[in-house]
């Protein structure tokens, strides 16, 4: 288990593959994740990439001003319905596209995205619906 924000950053920046892997796969408490987010804002995307990051942290980051953080969340399969819905309405078209191609996006959300104002979002949603 990752026990501090500093440990997470050290693991993430390590050139040792085993340490780097720990940053991607090991759990941390919500408190540790929030300390990483607040004290190391350039690590937010790496928090999202962690396979064990809790939904509560993803919810918090889904309001982040950095669209690359929201886009990383949109790629995750562990999202619940509320996050799928929220990100499917994001003002940034590339985030809506990430939701359209996410294999776990509910069908009814894909139907809404199939009417998106951006053609590439529409096409991605229609392609997923056709499968």
Express each pLDDT in 5-64 by its tens digit.
999 999 999 999 999 999 999 999 999 999 999 999 999 999 999 999 999 999 999 999
Q: Is the pLDDT of residue 124 over 90?
A: yes
> Tokens for 40?
């190391």
Is the distance from CB of 88 to CB of 113 less than 8 angstroms? yes
Is the distance from CB of 11 to CB of 1 less than 8 angstroms? no
pLDDT of the residue at 106:
98
pLDDT of the residue at 117:
97
pLDDT of the residue at 25:
97
Q: Is the pLDDT of residue 77 over 90?
A: yes
pLDDT of the residue at 107:
98
pLDDT of the residue at 52:
97
pLDDT of the residue at 54:
97
pLDDT of the residue at 131:
87
Map tokens 């288990």 to a residue: 1
Q: How far is CA 65 from CA 5, 72, 81, in A?
A: 21, 13, 21
Burial pattern 43-63, b for ≥16 Cβ within 10 A else e, equals bbbbbbbbeebeeebbebbbe
């Amino acid at each position: 288990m990752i026990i501090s924000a500093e440990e997470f950053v050290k693991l993430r920046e390590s050139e040792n593959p085993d340490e780097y892997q720990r940053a991607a796969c090991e759990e941390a408490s919500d408190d540790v994740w929030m300390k990483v987010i607040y004290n190391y804002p350039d690590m937010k995307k790496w928090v999202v990439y962690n396979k064990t990051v809790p939904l509560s942290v993803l919810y918090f980051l889904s309001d982040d001003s950095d669209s690359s953080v929201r886009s990383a969340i949109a790629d995750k399969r562990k999202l619940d319905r509320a996050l799928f819905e929220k990100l499917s309405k994001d003002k940034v078209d590339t985030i809506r596209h990430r939701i359209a191609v996410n294999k776990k996006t509910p069908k009814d959300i894909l139907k809404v995205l199939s009417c998106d104002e951006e053609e590439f979002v529409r096409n991605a949603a229609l392609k997923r619906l056709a499968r």
